[in-house]
Structure 1
Amino acid sequence: MSGPRRIVCLTEEPTETLYALGEQDRIVGISGFTVRPPQARRDKPKVSAFTSAKVEEILALRPDLAIGFSDIQADIAAELIRRGVEVWIANHRSVAGILDYIRRLGALVGVAARADAYAGELQRGLDAIAAQAARLPRRPRVYVEEWDEPIITGIQWGAELVEIAGGIDVFPELSREPLARARILADGAPVIARDPEIIIGSWCGKKFRPERVAARPGWAAIRAVRDGELHEIKSPLILQPGPAALTDGVQAIAAIIQRWAQR
């Protein structure tokens, strides 16, 4: 076995990727938010959240690598580095970035060819969805919301998945902002102005409440609200930048858009 042998995954996407590559035996600890694959949740100790981690428990696992994601985990990473753990914090924000991440993680654990083949398989799945979307008579305007208070619009890979699935993301300029705070809306007026035909709620770690969204001041004028096109996609499917987003996540978006088109 080449590469790191005792890996702690601080977020879900390295766990899902390593299982998909058949390298799950390297994982010694996972995020408490992990739901994919379900056997990881059964088999591996949960030692971190998004913004906090059980550092002493991680150290007790004697990891030779910890893998996390983004500025959100900077403090965890710094503490582990100070305690002598090697850390990789990925910071990919696009669909192409997710595919590259899978290839890099595969190379890191010595299965580059397998990871490249898997990334190719995921790309072919995206291409098939894009081909289906190309047959739509019209592309709907789609608003993706990551959080409700404050309102946070969708991140880049989510906007790209909407486009692949046949929609038009209504906040393309905000989606390219890497930090969530740059995607906060002061109020709902910009959403009303862009009048989405479909609203997708994926509130990170809590249930989407379409009735609360519909009741926001002025939102009754939005076409999606008038037509009852408010949909939830669970956050593990589209808010984690790993295989889930490129499989079940984009398929869920495509199904919503296809049903809209049939109406």
Structure 2
Amino acid sequence: MSATRGPRRIVCLTEEPTEILYALGEQDRVVGISGFTVRPPRARKEKPKVSAFTSAKIDEILKLQPDFVVGFSDIQADIAAELVRRGIEVWISNHRSVDGILDYVRRLGALVGAGDKANAYADELKRGLDAIETESAKLSRRPKVYFEEWDEPPITGIRWVAELVRIAGGDDVFPERALEPLAKARILEDGDEVIRRAPDIILGSWCGKKFRPEKVAARPGWNAIPAVRDGELHEIKSPIILQPGPAALTDGVREIARIIQDWATKQS
């Protein structure tokens, strides 16, 4: 049985490992989670919250006696280093693409002794993406899409977001920035660049705060952008798109696909 293999007491410093472990039926191993966790809803009720994104309650984590801690990216490097110094085994993943997310599901499953279930789950996620891509290929025209991750300063979408936009039938207007792993490399120094690239749709997901389309529309000169002119400014809630896990590959991409399909219907 899988329960006899792999770590027994896992702390998840971000939401996506929690969502994956619950999806695999391995939630009993999870002993601590991120305060930003909203998926699945029951995890919030059942598990102690011991970390934010850039900070963590190290003493609270140690009290949970974890034998494995999972985090994400350079942003959690300091938390990871402190836990490693305290003798805890830590895995910091750094996946930034759709293929990377699918591979992450498989690797996390393998690390906790649930490899077969994880492979099956990753295959299921991939089938869902393939179905959306097949459907979106039928669009008579692909919209140009500007995705904004933050407003002050404006930050363009990360790689997995640009890839999901493409799968959903659109084309990200800043593909070269999407390849930059660090947010600071995706800061738009010149907002007029969005005007020049003339997106048909603007998607906003301001990490942790409500997207304000009226504020975006009021930016100087932005009334010339097709998306602003046509009222195509839409919020994608950050929990379903800005975490590199199952949420983005399911609810997130489906929401983008719905917006693009609606736009295409209006065009025809």
Which bin holds the TM-score, normalised by the shorter protein? over 0.9
1:95 maps to 2:116: no
Q: Give the match for residue 30 of structure 1.
A: 33
1:43 maps to 2:46: yes
Cα offset, 1:202, TM superposition: 0.5
1:62 is matched by which residue type in structure 2?
Q
Decide which of 153, 158, 162 is 2:161's aligned counterpart: 158
Cα offset, 1:84, TM superposition: 1.2
In structure 2, stretches of 5+ residues that fail to align are none
CA distance in 1 between counterparts of 2:200 and 2:152 reads: 22
Q: Give the match for residue 117 of structure 2.
A: 114
CA distance in 1 between counterparts of 2:213 and 2:190 reads: 17
1:251 maps to 2:251: no
1:107 is matched by which residue type in structure 2?
A
1:126 maps to 2:135: no
Decide which of 13, 18, 33 is 1:15's aligned counterpart: 18
SS of the counterpart of 2:148? strand
1:187 maps to 2:187: no
2:215 is matched by which residue type in structure 1?
R
In structure 1, stretches of 5+ residues that fail to align are none
1:70 maps to 2:73: yes
Cα offset, 1:94, TM superposition: 0.2
CA distance in 2 between counterparts of 1:216 and 1:84 reads: 50
Cα offset, 1:237, TM superposition: 0.4
Cα offset, 1:83, TM superposition: 1.2
1:104-253 to 2 correspondences below 5 Å: 104-253=107-256
Query: TM-score, normalization: structure 1?
Result: 0.99
Query: TM-score, normalization: structure 2?
Result: 0.97
CA deviations on 1:176-233 (whole Å, 9 max, x unpaired) are 0000000001131111110000000011111000000011111111000000000001
2:204 is matched by which residue type in structure 1?
G
CA distance in 2 between counterparts of 1:192 and 1:27 reads: 46
CA distance in 1 between counterparts of 2:232 and 2:23 reads: 34
Instruction: Name the Cα RMSD after superposition.
Output: 0.5
The percentage of aligned residue pairs carrying the same residue is: 77
2:178 is matched by which residue type in structure 1?
S
CA distance in 1 between counterparts of 2:262 and 2:18 reads: 32
SS of the counterpart of 1:208? coil
CA distance in 1 between counterparts of 2:213 and 2:81 reads: 39
CA deviations on 1:110-156 (whole Å, 9 max, x unpaired) are 11111111100000000000011011010000010000001100000
CA distance in 2 between counterparts of 1:116 and 1:95 reads: 15
1:181 is matched by which residue type in structure 2?
K
User: Is the CA contact 1:151–1:187 (under 8 Å) kept in the aligned structure 2?
Assistant: no
User: Is the CA contact 1:158–1:238 (under 8 Å) kept in the aligned structure 2?
Assistant: yes
Count of residue correspondences: 263
